[in-house]
Amino acid sequence: MSPLTIIENDHVTLMYHTDTKIVHHIFHQTVQGEVFRHALETGLEVFKKYEAHKWLSDDRKNSALPEDDTEWAKTNWFPRVLQAGWQYWALVWPPSTVAKLNLKEFIDTYQPFGLRVMVFNDDKPAMKWLEHNKLTPKIKPITPQG
């Protein structure tokens, strides 16, 4: 089944793969500020609407983000997408070392919260990895009987 295209412009393509419940963005050039935030916010809305749990980020043509976008993604956007059920993140690396270091900062921030992350050099193995991972059921905390 072909994916639903949510956003398509010179900066970004955002899709939703209905059969595998994967949100998938492709940055076509350096993306920052409002364009970056709009893509992630729209992806979050797709996550909620379709109860997705997996995200494929093709960042091969992006560069390092400015500090304000990095902080926004880590402290504002991430807690909300995690709450929406994000479990798996396949990330396609950009060639720039500086951009990789910026993305590693996200990985280091997100993994302690249980997000499973794998990095790739191409989108095809990234998609296969996401498709083959099973969702982990949420465990409800045990509450004392009173």
Where in the chain does DSSP place strands (E)? 4-8, 12-17, 22-27, 54-58, 88-92, 116-120
pLDDT tens, residue by residue, 16-33: 999 999 999 999 999 999
* Band (2; pLDDT cuts 50, 70, 90): confident
Q: Which CATH class is domain 4-132?
A: alpha beta
Residue 61 has pLDDT above 60, yes or no: yes
CA distance 11 to 26: 9
pTM of the predicted structure, to 2 decimals: 0.89
Show me where the domains of the chain are located.
4-132
Look at residue 144 in the predicted model and tell me its pLDDT.
44
